[in-house]
Every structure is written in structure tokens, then in C-alpha cells.
Chains A and B, each alone.
Chain A
């Protein structure tokens, strides 16, 4: 049974799926919430956000071997 709050949330986001897909999407959103909670519980460090664009500044070293 799909939660009515979930349906309302989906509507607020301007999204719509058929009834058969609603359960699958709700399960996926639950997975996203679980992963988010897992990571948020481990925010015990002080890093600033990063993406990979900083790799352009990386200077390759001579690999061993």
C-alpha cells in the first residue's frame, strides 16, 4: 500500500508515475533515505565538499615498476 504522503510529495515535485511503478519508486526512495542516513550519521570529519575537477591539478608521478 503506497503512503498517501509519498503520493503528495511526488505531486509537489511535479512528477507522476502509474500505480504499478509507485511501489517500486517508493522502495527506491526508501533506499535513498537509508543511504543518506548512513552517511549523515558518519559526518564526523571536517572535509569541504569535493568533486573530481581538482584532479586536473594533479601531477602524475613516475609509477614504480
Chain B
């Protein structure tokens, strides 16, 4: 390159601060909207609650200034807004269920938000360089698979509403799949960065597709079997799809071979079809998906139908926050929080929320592009893609794109484990983005080699 890049990347911390304040402002308006629509008054605790949330977000922002000053400036405002809107909606459903702020789900969710933000900040402070994580590749793999399969073990594993994806430890119930997502992304990134050369070796060519060598099929088969185990024994299509989709996507990024995607999709469809043939609960899910309003489906569950009717009642502009009846749908504050938003802020509001997620994922992928090390690239791409895939699985489930699953919407849905995992996930992305955007020390002072004149050698 003849032009030496010498600009200093903008840190964007002030932009981030302004956006965070704006995001909390939107949350405040949404909260007031709910209160005015439901009770007509502004409750006295408003300033404490919203002020507390603002303090948490600004605290996190200060941690970024301190420890990751070049981190992406959009991620924190986006998740601050999403998390805040989720809190407002959960509070709104508390009101509909006749619960006050003291005994509602929203306050617990706010506590979890605080815990999640603190843990994410600790991750940022402790994890000075994401490449450290590569050292723990196999430990992460063990933790990831362990967590994923943990609910299958007796005593601690709990089956809630048909899906065995919870573990119960005393009074705490925990959905380990969320944390497993991060651990597995670290494992896949570390593993694939080591083995990518072998895995991308060309094998036989079939129908214009260069297939990998048969002996390299081992890892994908292991991942496939594990995902099938999750599907069959935990009865959770969502986690299974998320986990396997993450693996295939990272495998593709690592090897640049489309054939891995083809193989992955084929395997997954095959596995899902076999599960459909064999297992009654999978058949019920498919019936609910394809023929939601048939009498047989409604007998099995009218949850999806209710969610769809809720969304339809919102229409283009929604009923307005606090003015719909999202509480008529079960799990309106967790699995079905997207229909709750669809009902009250309409199609337009939902689009805005989807755009926030898309923007978050795009910033993550941008981070992946900008990162110089392969491990960071893979990890950032994997984590970002997992967020996108999870959104797709959750929203696709409630809008009948795919069968309904039991996953939670990142940042929006009620649930502590989900918040912890996703804040930590974004903390890791922020750490990688800080690394990606931070100028190289040597780039500031042009190296002597760059200054030297090019010697032209005459050959003849």
C-alpha cells in the first residue's frame, strides 16, 4: 500500500455517553407511558428507579473509559435501551397481573440487571486481552458441553413446561444453555483456529461442491450428536438449533468452505426429521407450528395462537404502552415478550427493536472484521452470530417462521441467567472491539522500512 494509514480512530466515548443518556431517556418515557396509561399518575419512586438504572449504565460507561477506551461506542447504548425496555414491559405485565413494584418480577429483573452489569464490568476489568481466553479453549469446551447437558442429570435438572433446560440449585433455577453459549463460542474459536488448516483441506468434489476429507468430519459429527441429544432429551429445539447453528457458522468462518454449511444443514434437517418421526413432543411442536389454529393444535396449546392474536391486535401502531392486554398470553414477560411489544408498540415499534438487535450484531461482526487475530475474529463473529440466531429462533418461534422453542429474547426477556450471559457476551465483544479499534503502537511512528525508498532492481 502506498498510503500509510495514520489517522487516530475516534474513541467515541462521549458519543457513547450521550447515547446512553438518550437510551435511558427513552426508557424513562416508556415507563411514564405505562404508568400514565395504567394508573394515570406518576409513582413517587420513578426518579429512584430510572436514576438507579442511569447510574448503572453510566457506571459501566466509566468502566469502558477506564479499561476499554477504544471499545465500540454503540453496543452499550443499544443494550442499555433493550434491557430498559424489557424492564418496562416486565413491569407493565406485573401491573396487569395486579402486582406492585415491590412484589413484581420487574424489581427482581432490575436486580439481576445490576448484577449482570457488575459481572460484565468485572469481566472487562479482569480480561485485559481476549486472547487470554484462547488458553482456556478446552476448559471452556468442557464447561460449555457440561452446562448444555447439565439439565439432563437427575436431582439438579428440572423440567419446566416440557423443556428440560433448567437446573435447580436450592432456591435458584438457572438456564445453563445461555452461559454454555459463551463457553462454546470460546471453545469453537480456540479449537477452530488451531484446526482450520486441516479442516479446510479439500477433499472430493461433488456437484460443484468441494467436500472436506472424510476423516475431518469428526468434530461436526460430535457437535451434531450433542445437539441431537439436547433436542431429544432436553426437548429443546431452540438450544439445539442455536448451538449447532453457532458451530456451523464458526466452522464456515474458520474454513471459508461453503460445503460445511451444506453438510451442517443436511445433518440438522436429517436429525430434526428423525426426531419428528420418533418423538411425540416434536410432532406436537410441528403441529402447533404448521396448523396453529386447528382444533387439535388448540387442544395441545393455545399459547402461540394467543400470542399471534395479541400481535394482530397491536396492528401497525400498537395499542400504546399500558393499553393492550399482553397479560392474556402466557409467559408474556419471558418467552412471549416480543408479542407483548408487538401488541403495545405495534409493527413499527417491533421493527425498531429488531433494528437495535441487527445493529448490535452488525457492530459485533464489524468488530470481527477489524480484529487482527484469528481467535478474536472467530470469537467475535461467533458471539455476534449467536445473538442474531437467538433472536431469529425466539421471534421466528412466536411468529411461526419455525416451531416454537423455549429460548429467551436476549436483554428483553425476564430471567437472570439470560441477562448475566448476554451482558457478559457483550462485555467480551466490547473487549475484542477495543482491541480491534485501538491503533497499533507502531502505526503512529512510521517504521524505517516504510520510509525507505523502494529499490528497483533491473532484471535485464
A and B pair up: no
